[in-house]
Amino acid sequence: MPFTIRTKLTFWYTSLLGFSLISAGIFLYIAAQQAMVTALDTKLLFLAETMARTVIKPHTQLILPQNFDVLMERFFGLKTSGSYIQITDRFGNVKSRSETLGKARLPLSGKAVQNALANKTTYETVDYVGRQPLRVITYPAMDNNTLDYIIQVAASMESVQSTLSDIVYIFYLTIPFVIILATAGGFVLASKALSPVHEITTAARRIGAENLHERIAVLGTGDEIDNLADTFNEMVGRLEISFKRMKQFTSDASHELRTPLTILKGETEVALKKCRSLEEMRGVLESNLEEINRMSRIVNNLLTLVKSDTDVKHEFQDVRLNEIIDEKFRQTKHIAEAKKVEMKLLKNEEVLVSGDPLRLRQLILNLLDNAVKFTHDHGNVIVSLERCNDNAVIKVSDTGIGIQEEDLPFIFDRFYRVDKGRSREDGGTGLGLSICKEIADAHGGRIEVDSVIGKGSTFKVYIPVKPA
Ligand SMILES: Nc1ncnc2c1ncn2[C@@H]1O[C@H](COP(=O)(O)OP(=O)(O)OP(=O)(O)O)[C@@H](O)[C@H]1O
Ligand SMILES: [Mg+2]
């Protein structure tokens, strides 16, 4: 089962907290132990030093009464209670010991004797059989650099041990409690922090093709979650636009194909019912062929558009744009002449671009075709190609019917024709300019239009030149 982020967050949070608490506990334990042992050592050392200064006289036979510790307390104010004191000569023979020791003797290690010989104090913790461990310090009483006596002062570690076990006990009791509390708190916090994500998920699930206009609520906090919601909304926005375009395109395409099909169907039915002569039959077939041609033009244009939607750039090669302009200009000139429209090639600079020659031909042909088509008799069409900065600029101007300002934003849309009736007579599908735009876009360029109704139009195409 995959873990939720909430579970993972809680787990990491708890582990981290647990680790920190245990580390802090261990640190505290060690620090407390050291502090208590040091305090004990200071007390023992003080006793030993006082003993050395007051009791032991150099070169004298050490004779101490059995209850010397009691006397020390009385005469020197030394608190010896709870301590064990033992005085030995340098060979380890016990010379005297405190009453608290009774018959027992404090252990004297070889190391302690060696240290004492070198005038060093030794601090040891030794196990005292059957009782709490003892802290023993072994202090040398020196006489002119020679070891006179060895004073050992010891105390039980019982209080240290019991304080340490109290500390451990407190830890055992509090750490699990704190961890459980923190886990619950962490879980609640994580749930709270992640609840907007849950809302986004629910909203995202709700939004489908039918309600792409819906958006996720953005709280305006500017945090990561808001960012996520914003990004998601933007994505849905883009989907909505392309979905609308797709719908529009499908409905336009079917509408465009339906008209010729209806005509085909109607004419064929009538012909089948009451066709008399071969002549009439021929007339029907000719009209049908016209509609078929029209449909195949639409389908071809649609295919071109779909193609530019999907494959871009992989057929690019070096193209001399001026050669294409030359070729298409000559071809259109014949048609223009038949229409008594004069065509001029004002400028044709040599420009090299990287592109798909077939598509660029189509772009130029579509523009020239429009210019001639929408220009009256005795009108002019002026064509030019020049290099301007890093762009090849193709300009096609005509003195034709022009386009109204309110139509200008739509003429590059698929199937858009200003005058539907007229376009039908011309055989226009309304796809020419949208193909031009797709081609210009695919080449990293753009297309612009300037038009005054009744005066004429100028179309400009910018295609980036091939970098040197
Ligand atoms: N040079 C022009 N002068 C006036 N109007 C134009 C010109 N070029 C385009 N238009 C207007 O823009 C519309 C869209 O042009 P587009 O080339 O896309 O379609 P079309 O020429 O009608 O059909 P097709 O190009 O598919 O044969 C045209 O129907 C026309 O109304
Ligand atoms: Mg056209």
- At residue 74, the pLDDT reads 67
pLDDT over 70 (residue 81): no
Between 61 and 279, the more confident residue is 279
With the most atoms of ligand 1 within 8 angstroms of its CB, the residue from 297, 401, 411 to mutate is 411
Between 93 and 128, the more confident residue is 93
Phi/psi of residue 157, each to 5°?
-85, 10
pLDDT over 90 (residue 29): yes
Q: Extract the tokens encoding 249.
A: 């395109």
With the most atoms of ligand 1 within 8 angstroms of its CB, the residue from 256, 417, 426, 460 to mutate is 417
Q: Categorize the per-residue pLDDT at 76 as very low, low, confident or very high, splitting at 50, 70 and 90.
A: low
With a 6 Å cutoff on the Cβ, whether 411 touches ligand 1 is yes
Average pLDDT, the chain: 87
Cα(366) to ligand 2 centroid in Å equals 5
pLDDT digits 0-9 by tens, 238-255: 999 888 878 877 887 887
CA angle 429/435/438 to nearest 5° reads 155
With a 6 Å cutoff on the Cβ, whether 433 touches ligand 1 is yes
Domains of the chain: 5-162 (3.30.450.20), 209-310 (1.10.287.130), 312-464 (3.30.565.10)
Whole-number Å distance between alpha carbons of 458 and 449: 6
With a 6 Å cutoff on the Cβ, whether 294 touches ligand 1 is no
Across 327-353, average pLDDT: 94
Whole-number Å distance between alpha carbons of 337 and 339: 5
Phi/psi of residue 388, each to 5°?
-130, 110
Neighbours of 74 (CB within 10 A): 10
Q: At what angle do helices 5-54 and 68-76 cross, to 10 degrees?
A: 90
pLDDT digits 0-9 by tens, 261-281: 988 998 888 888 886 788 888
Q: Residues 6 or more apart from 67 whose CB is under 8 A from it? A: 99
- At residue 59, the pLDDT reads 56
Across 132-159, average pLDDT: 88
pLDDT over 80 (residue 423): no
Q: Categorize the per-residue pLDDT at 457 as very low, low, confident or very high, splitting at 50, 70 and 90.
A: very high
With a 6 Å cutoff on the Cβ, whether 458 touches ligand 1 is no
Residue with the two structure tokens 């005066």: 455
